[in-house]
Structure 1
Amino acid sequence: MTSLVLSGDQEPYDNAAYLVLPQPETAKIVFVGEEENKQDPRDRLLYYLTQVPFDTPQRAVTITTDANLIPDGASEPSEIDATPLVVVTQPVDEAVAERIQNYANAGGTVLLVLAEPNAKWSSTLSRMYDIHDAEAPAIEVSEAKADDYVMLAHIVFEHPLFMPMADPQFNDFTKVRFWSHRQISGLPEETKWLAKFDDGDPALIEHAVGDGHLIVLAAGWHPQASQLSLSTKFIPLMFSIFDRGRRDTTDGNRYRVGDPLDEEIGIPTLITASEDAMAATATQGSDLRLNRPGVYRIGQDGKTQTIAVNLADSESRVEPMDAASLEKHGVLLGKTKSSEARKASERQSKDVELESNQKLWQWLMAAAMGLLVTETLLVRIRQ
């Protein structure tokens, strides 16, 4: 089905709504971290990551531990889109760090989980931040001192990662306790602190890397380190991280007539549309727009996508606007009278007209009487 048609409407121009069904897609998460030394799967971060239901009816997500599958800087944008998240849970060597950084520069999202103490975290984090200036403050990662546990505080619920949990019925994090965490110092000023521990240390931070994002969690989510993976906050938080910076390439129903299309697509070819529909005539690289509703196939080099173009909702609002709405838009109107006032004015006008007619007849009668009296006197004088 490509359209829904409304019958019986007197205005046919907006009776068809065009649509396309979402196309199934595949995506993968690359997990970088060796956990073979942990016998119990429940002690592994990967175990809890695999329990998150990333799959949807229109999306199949796989999790791989092969770091060679991380797209590098030379990858096509479609490869970056197909790998929306790379999770790193251990310090990596120079080659892997460079590959991860190139992936982030190209638009990917990297989640760095400082799950356990490791002296190499400082160099890995500095490499991810791409700090080469010898005079710049060094990023240092050390083990925080906690007598018992810490909790999250000062959460930025306006940020996309926490926005799904901003409602008062979901924003209570007091039941999530962290038994241990890492302390990070020397962070650049542009780093966004999304959440702090109640001891003041950063808990979750974000840093822009090229077109992508570096997200750092200063603790592990497995039960040995915290209660995060067993809480109700873990799944929505992972969903938000998965979707961070991810482009939605499957929604083909978002376009309206006159909207500019993505620059990387090709010239569209008309498939199904209204009878007077026309394909766009713009050239590749220009401001490409579709000027008629319909269903179009777009793309080039053998890669195509089907989109639906519809009229804006405002085009169907044809009911008369009242005077107050017109005045809000700057239309100057005279003062209008109520129906009772108009009727009273009409009655008054009729009364004035009637009175005026009566006065005219009175003058005519007086003139006639005067003429009659004058003729009578003249007749008597002659006699």
Structure 2
Amino acid sequence: MGFLAGAFAIAGAVGASIPLIIHLLNRERARRLVFSTIRFIQMSHQTNVQRHRLKRLLLLLMRILMLLLLGFAFARPFFAQDPATAPELGGVRNAVIILDTSYSMQYEGVFERAKKEAINRLDGLDSADAAALILSADKVRQVLPLETEHSHIRTVIENAETTNYTTDYLDAIQTADEILKGISIGQKQIFLVGDLQKSGWENFLETDRLSPDVDIEFVNIGEEQPNNQAITDINVPPVVLIEQKDTELVARVHNFSTERIENLNVNLYIDERKADTMEVDIEPEDSTDAAFNLQVDLQSESAHTGWVEIEDDALEIDNRYYFTVQSMQSIKVHCVNGEKKRSDIDDETFFLTRALKDVGDEGAPIDYTESVTIPSEAALQRYDVLILANVKQFSTVEAERIKTFVNSGGGLIITLGDQIDSSVYQQHFGGADNPLLPCTLMQAVGDPIGKPEFKVIASVDYKHPIFVPFSNPNHGDFGKGRFYRYYQTAATADATAIASYDDGNPALLEKVYGNGRVLCYTSSIDREWNDLPIHGVFLPFLHESVKYLALKQAGKVPDYRVGDALEYIGSRDGAGKEVAVFNPDKKETRLELNEQGNLYFGATQNPGIYSVHRSGETTHYDVVNVDTAESDITPRDPEELTSLLVGSTEADRTPTEITPEVRQEYREDVEKNQGISMYLLLAVFALAVGEMFLANRV
């Protein structure tokens, strides 16, 4: 036993002698006189005298105990081990076990070995040792705090399962270090049980070392010579048109082993049916492409899902790669004519209409319609591209309708002219944090009447998909068109000028808006401000612009990975309506669309095909794949990792010392936790009550 304030214990012992001294001083010795006549009375009263004497002795004992216990209570007693062997001062370990649950641990037999090694480390601890557990992957982490009850940790380890996420050892090790920082004294140990693959250490910096008093042991349970192949990427056109009869899908297959792979079967599945198969040979640590003829039903406009897979190996999760493709019979284009004329030749869309309706044998099929008003929201959903041709004005509601159309994936072409009121466009489409317009409209310059001067398109980005077909000689010259009048504009920060006049002013600007894109043509689409429509480059330029917007947006497939939130873009009229989301296991989740008619679904723990079903609407599909950076399971050297985390010399380590301050802190903590003083005070109180009761009867 120890005391935090030993002087009070001494004072209590001294005080306990006071009742005894008083008792001895007050004791009187009576003279014995024998009277024969009272011996019978003495014999009858002897029993009462003995009982009275016993009560007085008991009362004396209670008073002695009261003073003694009171002194001990103020002395703050405690029972503790020697500091050199105390668990809190290094006599036992505080261990954190990190168990890797990333998908590379699904390699045949690896995770079962990992769980056994983790349990062995747990069993190696004494009963007084404290342990914590971290189940680690990229985006999933379960943490059990430090405790001396190991059975719960054992149960969690035995029931642990791998995830489909990648490895992030940095997050797990930093979490373990934070747990051990809460221990002011004692041995601190981290056990990392995993395959130690290289990709899990890419985020480490020199400053990410462990605390100086923390040790780490790496338990490498990975294969020395892993044999793994994976499909790392797929190149598939997001949209297939009728005229694209020989569309190619290319799957990239990588061999992560050190041996050559021959006659590896690669299979293509479309709409859950096997469509094609081929064999490939792959050199060690190399990739090869498997090219398939994409055969989908072009007679109907619908979304198709599929996957490419290779034959099973020791790690199966990365053997399949999912994709979606949209089949289209035609590109649906709607134009709002801002300057309708009785005479066709003078009409704003005269040349535009004829260019888009004349697709020839090589061009993409275009379903062209026209109106003089902005279509309704329901009508807009049927179109792939909307053209605003010299439209003078529109209401706030119509402007919001157009923004929603583009944000949900539609393509928008804005052409300017003499009907344009720049203030209207700036009010509805510009000036915000994320304006729809790719530029600020300043002023129209030039003279389209006298035509004394003109500008030409002198700068074109031939790497842009619209202009790639014109990059070779004799494939179209934009410099032949004369521009007598155009709008001076200033591109916004997130917009790009992909064609410019010879004075540097933009001729064509592009901006990404939500899931859609906007093109702004700064002159007119007819011959009123320029003569480009009469040149041969005009028709293919319009076709490429429409095709770029339609195919770029209609087939813009997000590259979702396991754990990413899926985004469903709807319309405002669907706000609050219920949809059903099915995961790859066909498990249904019912959710409500938000006030914009959109939906975010985050439960994507498994790779595969996810579908969103809404009454009266076509089914929406998204695919989720694993991150194949995890497929390379080549490990890092444990010695190299130890040097990375704890330093290479003993000078980098700081041993734990039991200083007088640490000893005192330990004693105070033990006394506080045991609370013996409180029990002693309660005993004093009980004795005081008993003493008062007994004293009244003596």
Q: TM-score range by the shorter chain?
A: 0.5 to 0.7
Q: Which residue of 2 aligns with 1:288?
A: 603
**Which residues of structure 1 form unaligned runs of 5+?**
271-276, 335-383
The TM-score with structure 1 as length reference comes to 0.56
Matching residue within 555, 566, 570 for 1:261: 566
Residue 305 (structure 1) aligned to one of 619, 631, 641: 619
| Cα 1:103–1:85 shift into 2, 3 Å | farther
Instruction: Show the 5 A alignment for 1:168-187.
Output: 168-169=471-472, 174-185=477-488, 187=490
Provide the residue aligned with 2:5 in structure 1: none
Q: Aligned with 1:199: secondary structure?
A: coil
Structure 2's unaligned 5+ residue stretches are 1-270, 279-309, 433-439, 571-578, 592-599, 641-698
Q: Residues 271-307 of structure 1: CA distance to partner in whole angstroms, max 9, x if unpaired? A: xxxxxx73357664440316254x6643233435264
Whether 2:542 is the aligned partner of 1:238: answer no
Q: 1:57 & 1:2 partners in 2: Cα distance?
A: 32
**Aligned in 2, Cα 1:317/1:122: closer, same or farther, shift over 3 Å?**
closer
* SS of structure 1 residue aligned to 2:499: strand
Aligned to 1:199: 503
* Mapped pair 1:102 → 2:400: yes
Paired position in structure 1 for 2:445: 142
Check 1:309–1:222 CA distance in 2 against 1; reply closer, same or farther (3 A cut): closer
**2: CA distance, partners of 1:140 / 1:280:** 57
Q: Please state how far the C-alpha of 1:198 moved relative to its aligned partner.
A: 0.9
Letter in 1 for 2:606: N
Mean CA deviation greater in 35-44 or 149-158: 35-44
Contact 1:149 1:180 in 2 (8 A): yes
- Among 248, 255, 274, the residue aligned to 1:4: 274
**Change over 3 Å in CA distance of 1:330–1:51 after alignment to 2:** farther
Query: 1:141 and 1:155 mapped to 2: Cα distance?
Result: 22
Of residues 86, 100, 103 in structure 1, which corresponds to 2:386?
86
**Seq. identity, %:** 11
Asked if the contact 2:391/2:420 (under 8 Å) is kept, the reply is yes
- 1:114 matched to 2:416: yes
- The one of 134, 143, 163 aligned to 2:465: 163
Of 353, 367, 386, 1:47 maps to 353
Confirm or deny: 8 A CA contact 1:54 1:61 kept in the other structure. no
Residue 113 of structure 1: how far off its partner (Å)? 1.8
Q: CA deviation at 1:216?
A: 2.6
Following superposition, the deviation at residue 120 of structure 1 comes to 4.8
| 1:97 to partner: Cα distance | 5.1
Distance 2:427 2:612 in 1: 40
What secondary structure, in the 3-state scheme, does the structure 1 residue paired with 2:567 have? coil
Aligned-residue offset at 1:197: 0.8
Q: Is the 8 A contact 2:416 2:525 kept in 1?
A: no
1:65 alignment partner AA: S
For the residues of structure 2 that align with 1:286 and 1:301, how far apart are their CA atoms?
18
> Would you tell me which structure has more strand in proportion to its own residues?
2
In the other structure, the counterpart of 2:341 is 36
1:353-372 aligned within 5 A = none
**d(CA) in 1 for partners of 2:590, 2:484:** 55
Q: CA deviation at 1:139?
A: 2.7
Structure 1 residue 87, shift from structure 2 partner = 1.9
CA distance in 2, matches of 1:104, 1:171: 38
Change (3 A) 1:182 1:27: same
Is the alpha carbon distance of 1:296 and 1:90 closer, same or farther for their aligned partners in structure 2, counting shifts above 3 Å? closer
Quick check: 1:28–1:83 contact (8 Å CA) kept in 2? yes
Structure 1 window deviating more from structure 2 (81-90 vs 305-314): it is 305-314
TM-score (norm: length of structure 2): 0.34
1:223 to 1:22, Cα distance in 2 relative to 1, 3 A: same
Query: What is the CA–CA distance in structure 2 between the aligned matches of 1:175 and 1:291, rounded to whole Å?
Result: 50
Verify the 8 A CA contact 2:447 2:485 in the aligned structure 1: yes
> 1:102 and 1:333, CA in 2 relative to 1: closer, same or farther beyond 3 A?
same
Tell whether the 8 Å contact from 2:581 to 2:612 is kept in structure 1 after alignment.
yes
SS of aligned partner of 2:460 = coil
Please list the CA deviations of residues 53-83 of structure 1 after superposition, one character each: whole Å capped at 9, or x if unmatched. 4999998734222524253xxx6xxx65433
Aligned residues: 299
Q: Quick one: which of 258, 278, 291 aligns to 2:585? A: 278
Q: Is the 8 A contact 2:461 2:467 kept in 1?
A: no
| Aligned residue identity for 1:37 | R
